[in-house]
Structure 1
């Protein structure tokens, strides 16, 4: 192999080795913004429809519990009778004159009230527990989607850099091939490599937009609107 051909091929190898080293050193960990992540979680808890639905269930269970607590009064019936001071009722004589209050108790209903109240209270507590559990699940899901989005962005940057490196290598090999310093096989292999890197970049772009869409679904708003 001619010396110039060896040097050209060696420069391409060094270029790709440098690109690989940079890729291995790249990480999305430094991109994580925890205060911003907390804002994302708060936004999801505020906007996501399922959160509102579960809050409505809690409110309904609380209202049922409150109404059940006071429903024991339904077993108490109060009435009054008015007997004028100067009247005489021969059919139903009474020794009391004026207003008389009568209170009747439904014993069966009175005894059933404590059980109904306990059941309503447990239903209310269960709704609160379910809401709390869902909020934890939602928070974890927001974090997973946020990290996936950062990972996709990091991958996209790597693929974009790889395309730039491949384009640079193609230009160098094209010039070397025109001068007869490299073979068409090597030049063609680099063209194929550039095609593959562009394909990987397109896949990374799709993954980035998908991750962003997944995150925005939970947020109920555009990611750019969360300040």
Structure 2
């Protein structure tokens, strides 16, 4: 009779333990899209590469604006002053007083439209590259966020598996001490507990790694983002 009770107990323990192992816990219920938007906004604010891209856009814009007035570089103005009461025999002049002269560099004037167009295209390229990077950063934050939630779900699963294995070991230890089960069965359950603890450690490492990857993009700790 005792043997039948022990067998039934072991069978029930095995069923519960197996269900916890294979009934994978979904992390979808943990997803918070408002919180995800905060993470994305934080990454766009703090990540150094975003600031670098913005500086490149600003520099390209400044250069473009400067080329709009580059045609003035070909314009040269000067003045000559001839006193009213002086006579210059070597270079006689008709006009007296201040005389303004303006010269225009035709080559510089013709080159300016092409320079301006090139600067405008460089500015547009910088903007496109910035937009592309922001989209890439947003996608990366999402991937790391989902990976972090998945790792947390896996850690919860492994933690529950360890608890189940510990419960089974306690039952088998008691049964073994009473001579109601064999050392082989008890030892197999001890090995199972060891394996589950090993899986839990791996899940803990995966969780911390996923958290570190996400925080690298955010430039701050997750705990600081509410």
TM-score (norm 2): 0.93
CA distance in 1 between partners of 2:82 and 2:20 (Å): 105
What are the superposed Cα offsets for residues 70-102 of structure 1, whole Å, 9 maximum, x if unpaired? 221010001122334444434333333332211
CA distance in 1 between partners of 2:184 and 2:154 (Å): 30
Query: Which segment is superposed worse, 178-187 or 80-89?
Result: 80-89
Matches within 5 A, 1:156-195: 156-195=155-194
Question: Is residue 146 of structure 1 aligned with residue 145 of structure 2?
Answer: yes
Between the two proteins, the alignment pairs up a number of residues equal to 225
Match of 1:100 in 2: 99
Match of 2:12 in 1: 11
CA distance in 1 between partners of 2:56 and 2:48 (Å): 13
Question: Is residue 37 of structure 1 aligned with residue 51 of structure 2?
Answer: no
Match of 1:221 in 2: 220
Match of 2:206 in 1: 207
C-alpha displacement at 1:64, in angstroms? 1.5
What are the superposed Cα offsets for residues 119-175 of structure 1, whole Å, 9 maximum, x if unpaired? 111111111111111111111111100100000000000000000000011111111
Query: Which segment is superposed worse, 94-103 or 117-126?
Result: 94-103
CA distance in 1 between partners of 2:198 and 2:191 (Å): 11
CA distance in 2 between partners of 1:161 and 1:100 (Å): 95
Match of 1:48 in 2: 47
Kindly tell me: are residues 120 and 55 of structure 1, through their superposed partners in 2, closer, same or farther at Cα, counting changes over 3 Å?
same
Q: Is the 8 A contact 2:151 2:203 kept in 1?
A: yes
Match of 1:146, SS state, is helix
CA distance in 2 between partners of 1:87 and 1:113 (Å): 43
Question: Is residue 121 of structure 1 aligned with residue 131 of structure 2?
Answer: no
CA RMSD of aligned residues (A): 1.7
CA distance in 1 between partners of 2:18 and 2:107 (Å): 86
Q: Is the 8 A contact 2:21 2:157 kept in 1?
A: no
Give the unaligned 5+ runs of structure 1.
none
Give the unaligned 5+ runs of structure 2.
none
CA distance in 1 between partners of 2:147 and 2:206 (Å): 9
CA distance in 2 between partners of 1:17 and 1:48 (Å): 44
TM-score (norm 1): 0.92
